[in-house]
Homo-oligomer: A and B are copies of this chain.
Amino acid sequence: AASGVAMVSAKAANAEGDPAIINKQEWNQYLGEGVDARPYGMPSQFESHVRRQDVPWLTADPVSSVNFTPLHELDGIITPNGLCFERHHAGIAEVDPAEHRLMINGLVDRPLVFTMEDLMRFPRENHVYFLECAANTGMEWAGAQLNGCQFTHGMIHNVMYTGVPLRLLLQEAGVKTTGKWIMPEGADASGMTRSIPIEKALDDCLVAFKMNGEALRPEQGYPVRLVVPGWEGNMWIKWLRRIEVGDQPWHHREETSKYTDLLADGQARRFTWEMDAKSVITSPSPQAPITQGPGPLVITGVAWSGRGTIPRVDVTIDGGITWQQARMSGPSLNKSMHRFYLDVEWDGKPMLLQSRAHDSTGYVQPTKEQLRHVRGENSIYHNNSIQTWAVNEKGEAENVEIS
């Protein structure tokens, strides 16, 4: 092991010793900023590369576009608010909470208007849920394309929400027996709308005003958004200003032109709400290569399912010839991200890395091959297939497809 130590150490010491130890650093001797300097703190200057990033060629304009969570730089299961990916259709609405209202109308006994203060007087709940855009990994249907899990899988975040069960607000207005659907609507300039069946609305949806403890961020719908656990992100209406109750769905633009799944035969699935079990290795990955050479290596990633928890993730380093069960770490919560690890000793040879999630319903994440067999290559949304990274001898990783 003694020679191994020398090999794997990032910086071997010479006889005079490591200057980082022998020489005093500024921060060992001199005072830093005080407790009055940073009323709201930000990451270290040495972490400025950890940021949301957009892909300019994807859309005509950054104002109706998406950026991506830097999954390859994160660990655990919580996404910090500043790094939660953004997807908006008319830019970030900067809503003044004093001027914000939530209306409930349609098939209710009494149409109501709530202020933010009114909402804060209902009983609240706290839950950690992932939000994944249905288009996450959508650019990969036709083939391996974007080289980094931030881009292939970064339309997801995982947050603890505080909010009022939607059920309580609907009960307050009194849903008529004919009320079978709701249509939440946003206050931004896209006036975002979706149709949601009343069963889901009365089950686990939240009208949330806090994320990870503090107020929602403007990018995420401040002052109030809908939380639709396990269902595609577009339904989680941001800047929520109205909920209409109706007897039929609305078939609005985001559930017809968009967010319908075009199959190979030209037919299309609609109302594909649930997000199936999925996982991805976040490190090593194209943006997080192995820099330290052979020896101990932490393979890690995230897994989630819109239909429950993730009791198990399998990892292969040889492209699927052999699989090992990964170690799950951190709380296992319903419809939340899960973190997995596989601690290996890397021999320095090329690897083909994949992860495969099992959810609590018994569903197993499919291969791209399996999914394309059912859906073809034009489906855009709901690509939850197994991702492959090819790692070379230098530790560099690439997004590939394999046989």
Q: Which residues of A contact B (CB under 8 A)?
A: 8-11, 13, 18, 20-21, 25, 27-47, 50-54, 56, 61-67, 73-84, 86-88, 90-101, 103, 113, 115, 117-118, 120-128, 160-162, 187-189, 191, 210, 212-215, 217-219, 222-223, 239, 291-292, 295-298, 300, 327, 329-331, 333, 339, 341, 343
The smallest C-beta distance from A125 to any residue of chain B, in angstroms, reads: 5
The answer, among B10, B115, B219, B331, for a CB contact under 8 Å with A38, is B219
Q: Are A341 and B123 in contact (CB under 8 A)?
A: yes
The smallest C-beta distance from A207 to any residue of chain B, in angstroms, reads: 13
Contacting residues, chain B, for A86 (C-beta < 8 A): 35, 38, 41
The answer, among B41, B82, B122, B300, for a CB contact under 8 Å with A124, is B300
Contacting residues, chain B, for A96 (C-beta < 8 A): 25, 46
Nearest-CB residue, chain B, relative to A17:
B113
Which 9 pairs between the two chains have the least Cβ-Cβ distance?
Answer: A32-B91, A34-B62, A126-B330, A39-B51, A32-B92, A27-B93, A75-B162, A35-B67, A10-B115
Q: Is the interface of A mostly helix, strand, loop or mixed?
A: loop
Report copies per complex: 2
Contacting residues, chain B, for A191 (C-beta < 8 A): 28
Q: Are A218 and B36 in contact (CB under 8 A)?
A: no
Known A95-B27, A118-B10, A120-B298; contact A79-B213, beta-carbon cutoff 8 A: yes
Q: Are A20 and B101 in contact (CB under 8 A)?
A: yes
Q: Are B34 and A76 in contact (CB under 8 A)?
A: no
